[in-house]
Structures are given as structure tokens and as C-alpha cells.
Amino acid sequence: MVKYLSKEWAELAKKKVLTELDKARDLKNMNTSLLNVIQNVPPDNKTMYFYIKFIDGNLEELITGSDESIKQKEAEITATGDYTTFVQISSGQMSSAMALLKNRLKMTNKMKALTITKSIDTFNGCIKGIQTEY
């Protein structure tokens, strides 16, 4: 079992996505970058970042951590929310679309986000299979 958002978790997530998802069928050859700003991460309520970048459906980058350099990554979409919301999304308890509709996430470029929701939920469905300690 690995800790959510740890470097080990990020490596497992990347490996799982690269081996289990088809870039055309599952990820619709999407081109986007998404920076998740995760607030109130226990135990000390710090902010962490979860950055993903896809080019033609290929996962090019998947980085997690509290390093400010991740925050500086150029992202087409930025989603900001509480740790609990991201746990619910990553564990499959809530879709990203539902989190957006319930105002649990604040998002830049909402129109672009809505066009990739299905692919992002497929991505989240894949990574929820990681044995994770939240």
C-alpha cells in the first residue's frame, strides 16, 4: 500500500495508465495539461500538487508533491479543491464532473474541462485500482 500523492503513488499511477489505458479508445487522443491544487492535505494541512500532461493521448508527465516548481508548470486547466474531494475522485467515490457540478472544485478553463471529463474519469478509474493509503 502506498501513500496517496507520494512519489511512489505517482510512479504506480503512471505505470498503470501507460499499461492499461488505450490512448485512442480510453483517452480519446486528448491533448491537455491539468494541475490539481490539493488543499488541506493531512497531517499538517499543507497544499500539494498533482500535475498531468497528455499529448495525443500519451501520458507525458505525472508529477505529485508540494514543491512550488510543480505549481509553476504550464497547465491548460487548473482544478483547486480540498483533499477530501480529491480522495473521493481518486478512489472512485465521485466523478470529476460531479465534483465540478457540486462546486467542490474550482476550475479554470471550464469549457475545455467539460470536453475531457469522460477521459479524465477513465484516467481516475484506472488509478483508483492502486492500493492506496489516504
Task: Report which of 123, 80, 78 is spatially closest to residue 105, judged by C-alpha positions.
Answer: 80
Q: What is the pLDDT of residue 134?
A: 94
Q: Are 114 and 76 in contact (CB under 8 A)?
A: no
Beta strands in 83-120 (DSSP E): 105-107
The pLDDT of residue 82 is above 90: yes
pTM for this prediction:
0.93
Give CATH for domain 2-133.
3.30.1050.10
The pLDDT, as a whole number, for residue 68 is 86
Residue 112 grid cell: 475545455
Q: Which three cell numbers stand for residue 61?
A: 508527465
What residue segments make up the domains of the chain, in order of their start?
2-133
pLDDT (mean) for 12-20: 97
Average pLDDT estimate for 80-90 = 97
pLDDT on residue 39: 97
